[in-house]
Amino acid sequence: MIKAGIVGGTGYTGVELLRILALHPETHIAVVTSRTDSGKRVDAVYPSLRGYCETEFTAPDLTALAACDVVFFATPHGTAMLSVGKLLACGVKVLDLSADFRLEDAAQWQRWYGLEHACPELLKEAVYGLPEINREAIRQARLVACPGCYPTAVQLGLLPLLEQGWVDNQNLIADVKSGVSGAGRKAELATLMSETGESFKAYAVAGHRHLPEIRQGLAKAAGMPVGLTFVPHLTPMIRGIHATLYAQLSAHAGNLQALYEDRYANEVFVDVLPEGDHADTRHVRGSNRCQIAVHRPQHGNTVVVLSVIDNLVKGASGQAVQAMNLMFGLAEDCGLKTVALYP
């Protein structure tokens, strides 16, 4: 059995990791850290896990974590980078769900996150954990930087077009909506029910922290820097990301539906919907699936791609477990064979 540790077990992504790993046939949850709930049983704090997880929350302790085979960091940015080097030196594999290792350029990271990076030498080693593009590298990795939720939906939606050079890659538009859980498990005025219910708004239009991550991934797919306008929105729902993506087709663009079906034919967690269908967040809720629909309105030069995921699963914890499976030579869908919740 794989001995797993979770640092930050009381946030939404941490609890989602607990939910998934509790039923994972090859994993034992050995350590779950929480300063606030240290000494309490996990299933006492989260009764949904009664009968599935008997582990107690403990204060963060590197010695205990070093005895694990793999450690997940479900922490705010700036936390994982303080401990990852020590864990790697002990032979522990690490999956970081925060942004600490997603950007390859330390100066870019400092610009967007406002901190000096504690271990910039590890940025080159960290493997970006999007299996649909980095599967083989993830298999060999010691350190995986799990993608953000917005970047996952946007990159999966645009990859086929950019890889084939079928669109103008200098004028991409990503209009993306997120459920409130994407803001994390904290008390903030902007995410109170009375503030988000019966409302819909854009935010961070001048620049969201996920923007450089998305650009970095799309530039690799295109083989050159891309121009991207990314506007995130907050919607009055708990889970879900809906990305509506726009691009201008090049003269040599071919059959869009066939392009997407061929690109993702062997991807267990990417589902290309039939031509004419519309992607809907409720059809992926609770699952590790990304559903994609591609449209060419009025047969014009604009392609519209709809990409939906559950931000806590394929956008975070599920994708991290998918990467862990690859790192340990397991079937990629091990512990992740879950049908979406409906309604």
More confident residue, 256 or 190: 256
- Residue 43 has phi, psi (to 5 degrees) of -75, -10
Q: Is 186 domain-assigned?
A: yes
Q: Is 142 domain-assigned?
A: no
Short-list 135, 156, 155, CA closest to 144: 135
pLDDT at 38: 95
Task: Fill in the amino acid letter for 250.
Answer: S
Residues near 39 by Cβ (< 8 Å), separated by ≥ 6? 56, 57, 58
Alpha helices for 223-317 (secondary structure H): 256-263
Strands 2-7 and 70-73: parallel
Q: Is 331 domain-assigned?
A: no
Q: Is 179 domain-assigned?
A: yes
Residue 306: is its pLDDT beyond 70? yes
Other CB atoms closer than 10 Å to residue 61's CB: what's the count? 13
The Cα 12–Cα 74 span in angstroms is 9
Are 175 and 305 in the same domain? yes
Are 211 and 267 in the same domain? yes
Provide the percentage of residues in the chain whose pLDDT is more than 90: 93
Q: Is 329 domain-assigned?
A: no
* Domain boundary residue, one of 71, 90, 125: 125
CATH number of the domain bearing residue 42: 3.40.50.720
* Angle in degrees, CA 278, 283, 286, rounded to 5: 145
pLDDT at 265: 98
- Give burial (CB, 10 Å; 0-12/13-18/19+) of 290: buried
pLDDT at 133: 98
pLDDT at 135: 98
pLDDT band at residue 187 under the 50/70/90 scheme: low
Are 120 and 208 in the same domain? no
- Give burial (CB, 10 Å; 0-12/13-18/19+) of 287: buried
The Cα 61–Cα 101 span in angstroms is 21
The tens digit of pLDDT for each residue in 114-151 reads 999 999 999 999 999 999 999 999 999 999 999 999 99
Are 220 and 295 in the same domain? yes
Strands (E), the chain: 2-7, 27-33, 57-58, 70-73, 93-96, 127-128, 143-145, 172-178, 201-202, 228-234, 241-248, 270-272, 290-295, 302-309
Are 28 and 65 in the same domain? yes
pLDDT at 328: 98
Short-list 97, 6, 20, 8, CA closest to 288: 20
Are 167 and 302 in the same domain? yes
pLDDT band at residue 80 under the 50/70/90 scheme: very high
Task: Fill in the amino acid letter for 186.
Answer: K
Residue 185: is its pLDDT beyond 90? no
The tens digit of pLDDT for each residue in 194-252 reads 888 899 999 999 999 999 999 999 999 999 999 999 999 999 999 999 999 999 999 99
Are 255 and 170 in the same domain? yes
pLDDT at 167: 98
Active site amino acids = 149
Looking at the 3D structure of the chain, how many domains does it have? 2
Are 163 and 223 in the same domain? yes
Residue 192: is its pLDDT beyond 90? no
Residue 294 lies in domain: 149-311
- Residue 242 has phi, psi (to 5 degrees) of -120, 115
Are 193 and 79 in the same domain? no
Q: Is 212 domain-assigned?
A: yes
Residues near 249 by Cβ (< 8 Å), separated by ≥ 6? 166, 167, 168, 296, 301, 302, 303
Q: Is 340 domain-assigned?
A: no
Are 302 and 161 in the same domain? yes
Q: What is the pTM of this model?
A: 0.97
CATH number of the domain bearing residue 294: 3.30.360.10
Q: Is 339 domain-assigned?
A: no
Are 218 and 116 in the same domain? no
- Give burial (CB, 10 Å; 0-12/13-18/19+) of 100: buried
Which single residue is written with the structure tokens 């970081």?
A: 96
> 221-231: b or e for each residue (b if 16 or more CB lie within 10 Å)?
bbeeebebebe
Are 114 and 160 in the same domain? no
